[in-house]
């Protein structure tokens, strides 16, 4: 008598969930293996199904299925989910840090999946333009600002300085607000953007209210002890400063109810304006000539091609002429140097034209045109190198003052010695031989007037900076004397900052001991002032810090120049150019906050930072962004 067949029962299906009913009651179909994989249960029932489950074929199918599902689903809260989120956040940071266009992310996910097919994170990674922009705008930018304010509070930073300036982009007037403070636990001086908004106009009322409201909203109003801006009349009212309170600085003093608020006009602008003002005493308008020559060639291929031919004829390597902008501190020197390099070819070009511009024709026909250029280049070399030194990001106000004093001393010595470079002297000697002695004497008189105007202008605009000379000892580059510290304490006392005299005296001698151990140490000597002080606080005990830390925090909060704001403008123009001007302002603001405030992070370090911050990862994953 034949044995009764087993059926694929409900009981078997509950036990072996990867099976469903097959073509009849005596079969089960495996849903893991490829479609059409039927297993007969007629003979042994559940044993047949178990035999299939234990087979190598079924195990390989399970692995393949798991891999397939992983491409689309990640278990919430798993380490893989965190890795994927951190990767998406890091790529967003990478895009911003390296000034890339968001459109780059459109084709990033696909190549990652195909290039690294065996890497789970690459297969799951999914962040194109829209998501990347959302991560930067809604997560990274707020986080970097939150970290700034958090570090100020946690590290007990009592003082900060603020700087701002305006830049136009079409009809949009953009004003970033940058604060500066000393936090030795974070490495010393910190410069951070706390806000960047467009304003309807550039009036003193608008700017001062905007600065005050921003400081108030960030909880920094009572910590602000200094304001820095460029040298336009809107900011400080000219020299002498406006006594009627119509400029931003005066209005801020009133709105902050801080009559001792310190104002610093940008010394980089002072040096730039100094040489421009002095150049106006010359018989030739060299700046105007540079601008006209550049405009004559820069968009005209035919003219540029002809100039290249003249360069070949006089055996000079052609290099593109450079533009000079009156408001850009470092553009005049390279512009003059480039024209001097091309001078024989450019002169021959214009004098060979049938109807050249009259101003340029007169310039190149002038017997002393090359002499003027060479002397102005020699003078500009002083300003160019010192502006580079002055505008370093983390300079202190005394380091800037030292640069200004250095420029003043060099100009004074040049005037005293009637200094002209050897090339100029050689050309003057040749011209005297050709009967141009009167013209040479006139040029020498102009050189003296040039030095006089430079020195006069510099002394006038340096005067407000001299009040900071009581802090010269804080550069820690000379022997320390207690009486110099006392003058700093008086400066602070006049601004309602109290210092415990006895504690400060004891702490000072500990500082002097620290400095003396680095005598002759070039590595320490070459550090910036804030780095030396950070090093001291890192190695000293808390009992040796309180009063000196208060002095250091106040001193380093004084913003010595507006170069950091100018750097932000450069970043802004670069980013807007990359996006073809179509980047929404909110996205631009977020990009600059991340670029500037997180500049200390490498992409690798930022990835580690994200992985260590579960809350930030959750924000990146959140649909609220």
Question: Which of 566, 558, 563, 564 is CA-nearest to residue 264?
Answer: 558
The upper half-sphere exposure of residue 171, i.e. CA atoms within 13 Å in the direction of its Cβ, equals 1
Question: Which of 407, 414, 416, 413 is CA-nearest to residue 457?
Answer: 407
Question: Which of 195, 182, 185, 183 is CA-nearest to residue 144?
Answer: 195
pLDDT, mean of residues 372-398:
92
Taking CA 177 as the corner, what is the angle to CA 567 and CA 492, rounded to the nearest 5 degrees?
105
Asked if residue 338 lies in contact with residue 256, where contact means CB atoms within 8 angstroms, the answer is no
Q: What is the largest CA-CA distance in the chain?
A: 140
pLDDT, mean of residues 20-41:
84
Residue 26 carries which DSSP code? T
pLDDT value of residue 111: 83
Give the separation between CA 169 and CA 579, rounded to whole angstroms: 13
pLDDT band at 64 (very low <50, low <70, confident <90, very high): low
- The domains located in the chain, with CATH, are 10-68 (no CATH), 139-265+585-621 (3.30.420), 271-464 (no CATH), 477-557 (no CATH)
pLDDT value of residue 113: 77
pLDDT tens-digit map of 428-486: 999 999 999 999 999 999 999 999 999 999 999 999 899 999 999 999 998 899 999 99
pLDDT tens-digit map of 422-435: 999 999 999 999 99
Residues 6+ apart with CB under 8 A from 445: none
Q: How far apart are the first and last CA of the chain?
A: 73
Asked if residue 562 lies in contact with residue 229, where contact means CB atoms within 8 angstroms, the answer is yes
Question: Which of 127, 95, 138 is CA-nearest to residue 587?
Answer: 138
Torsion angle defined by CA atoms of residues 401, 405, 408 and 412, in that order, rounded to the nearest 10 degrees: 170
416 by DSSP, 3-state: which? helix
pLDDT tens-digit map of 89-113: 999 999 999 988 888 888 887 788 7
User: Does an H or E element contain 27, and which?
Assistant: strand 27-30
DSSP state letters, 298-363: TT-HHHHHHHHHHHHHTT----------TT-TTSHHHHHHHHHHHHHHHHHHHHTSSS--HHHHHH
pLDDT tens-digit map of 218-241: 999 999 999 998 878 888 877 666
pLDDT band at 2 (very low <50, low <70, confident <90, very high): very low
pLDDT higher than 50, residue 1: no
Give the separation between CA 134 and CA 92, rounded to whole angstroms: 9
Q: How many Cβ atoms from other residues are within 10 Å of residue 494's Cβ?
A: 9
Question: Which of 357, 313, 349, 320 is CA-nearest to residue 337?
Answer: 320
pLDDT band at 304 (very low <50, low <70, confident <90, very high): very high
pLDDT higher than 70, residue 216: yes
pLDDT value of residue 272: 87
pLDDT value of residue 69: 47
pLDDT higher than 80, residue 67: no
262 by DSSP, 3-state: which? strand
9 by DSSP, 3-state: which? coil
Average pLDDT, the chain: 89
SS (H, E, C) 433-457: HCCCHHHHHHHHHHHHHHHHHHHHH
User: Pick the residue with more confidence: 533 or 621?
Assistant: 533
User: Does an H or E element contain 225, and which?
Assistant: strand 224-229
- Sign, Cα dihedral of 501, 506, 507, 513: positive
Q: Where are the beta strands (DSSP E) in 489-617?
A: none
Q: How many Cβ atoms from other residues are within 10 Å of residue 498's Cβ?
A: 10
Asked if residue 129 lies in contact with residue 582, where contact means CB atoms within 8 angstroms, the answer is no
Question: Of the given ranges (32-46, 238-252, 284-298, 381-395), which has the lowest mean pLDDT?
Answer: 238-252
pLDDT value of residue 481: 93
Give the separation between CA 570 and CA 588, rounded to whole angstroms: 13
Residues 6+ apart with CB under 8 A from 480: 473, 508, 511, 512, 515
pLDDT tens-digit map of 495-531: 999 999 999 999 999 999 999 999 889 999 999 999 9
Asked if residue 175 lies in contact with residue 196, where contact means CB atoms within 8 angstroms, the answer is yes
Beta strands 27-30 and 38-40 are antiparallel
User: Pick the residue with more confidence: 588 or 77?
Assistant: 588
Length of the chain: 625
79 by DSSP, 3-state: which? helix
Residues 6+ apart with CB under 8 A from 314: 344, 345, 348
């Amino acid at each position: 008598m034949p044995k009764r067949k087993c059926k694929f029962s409900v009981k078997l299906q509950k036990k072996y969930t990867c099976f469903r009913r097959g073509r009849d009651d005596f079969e089960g179909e495996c849903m893991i293996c490829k479609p059409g994989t039927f297993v007969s249960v007629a003979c042994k029932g559940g044993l047949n199904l178990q035999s299939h489950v234990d087979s190598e074929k079924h195990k390989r199918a399970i692995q393949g299925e798991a891999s397939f599902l992983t491409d689309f689903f990640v278990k919430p809260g798993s380490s893989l989910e965190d890795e994927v989120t951190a990767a998406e956040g890091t790529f967003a940071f990478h895009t911003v840090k390296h000034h890339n266009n968001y459109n780059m992310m459109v084709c990033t996910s696909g190549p990652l999946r195909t290039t690294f097919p065996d890497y789970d994170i690459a297969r799951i990674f999914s962040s194109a333009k829209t998501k990347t922009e959302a991560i930067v705008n809604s997560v990274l930018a707020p986080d970097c600002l939150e970290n700034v304010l958090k570090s100020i509070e946690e590290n007990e930073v009592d003082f900060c300085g603020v700087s701002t300036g305006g830049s136009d982009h079409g009809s949009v007037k953009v004003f970033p607000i940058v604060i500066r403070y000393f936090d030795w636990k974070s490495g010393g001086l910190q410069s951070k953007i706390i806000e960047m908004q467009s304003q309807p106009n550039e009036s003193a009322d608008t700017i001062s209210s905007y600065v005050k409201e921003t400081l108030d909203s960030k909880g920094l109003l009572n910590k602000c002890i200094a304001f820095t801006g460029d040298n336009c009349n809107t900011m400080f009212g000219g020299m002498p400063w406006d006594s009627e309170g119509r400029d931003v600085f005066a209005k801020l003093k009133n709105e902050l109810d801080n009559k001792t608020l310190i104002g610093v006009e940008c010394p980089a602008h002072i040096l730039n304006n100094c040489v421009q003002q002095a150049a106006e005493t010359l018989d030739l308008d060299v700046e105007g000539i540079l601008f006209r020559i550049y405009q004559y060639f820069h968009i005209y291929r035919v003219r540029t091609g002809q100039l290249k031919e003249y360069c070949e004829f006089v055996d000079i390597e052609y290099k593109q002429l450079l533009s000079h902008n009156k408001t850009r501190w470092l553009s005049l020197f390279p512009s003059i140097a480039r024209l001097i390099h091309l001078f024989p070819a450019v002169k021959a070009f214009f004098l060979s034209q049938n109807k050249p511009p009259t101003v340029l024709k007169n310039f190149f026909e002038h017997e002393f045109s090359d002499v003027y250029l060479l002397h102005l280049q020699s003078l500009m070399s002083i300003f160019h190198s010192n502006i580079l030194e002055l505008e370093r990001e983390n300079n202190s106000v005394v380091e800037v003052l030292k640069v200004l004093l250095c420029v003043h001393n060099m100009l004074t010595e040049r005037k005293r010695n009637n200094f002209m470079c050897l090339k100029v002297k050689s050309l003057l000697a040749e011209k005297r031989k050709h009967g141009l002695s009167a013209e040479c004497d006139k040029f020498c008189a102009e050189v003296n007037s040039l030095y006089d105007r430079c020195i006069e202008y510099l002394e006038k605009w340096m005067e407000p900076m001299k009040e900071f000379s009581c802090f010269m000892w804080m550069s820690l580059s000379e022997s320390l004397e207690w009486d110099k510290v006392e003058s700093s304490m008086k400066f602070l006392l006049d601004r309602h900052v109290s210092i415990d005299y006895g504690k400060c005296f004891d702490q000072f001698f500990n500082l002097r001991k620290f400095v003396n151990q680095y005598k002759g140490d070039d590595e320490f000597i070459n550090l910036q002032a804030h780095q030396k002080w950070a090093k001291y606080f890192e190695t000293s005990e808390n009992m040796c810090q309180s009063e000196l830390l208060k002095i250091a925090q106040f001193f380093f909060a004084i913003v010595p120049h507006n170069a950091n704001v100018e750097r932000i403008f450069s970043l802004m123009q670069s980013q807007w150019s990359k996006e073809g001007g179509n980047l929404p302002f909110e996205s631009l603001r977020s990009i600059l906050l991340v670029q500037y405030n997180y500049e200390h992070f490498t992409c690798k370090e930022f990835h580690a930072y994200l992985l260590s911050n579960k809350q930030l990862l959750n924000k990146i994953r959140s649909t609220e962004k």
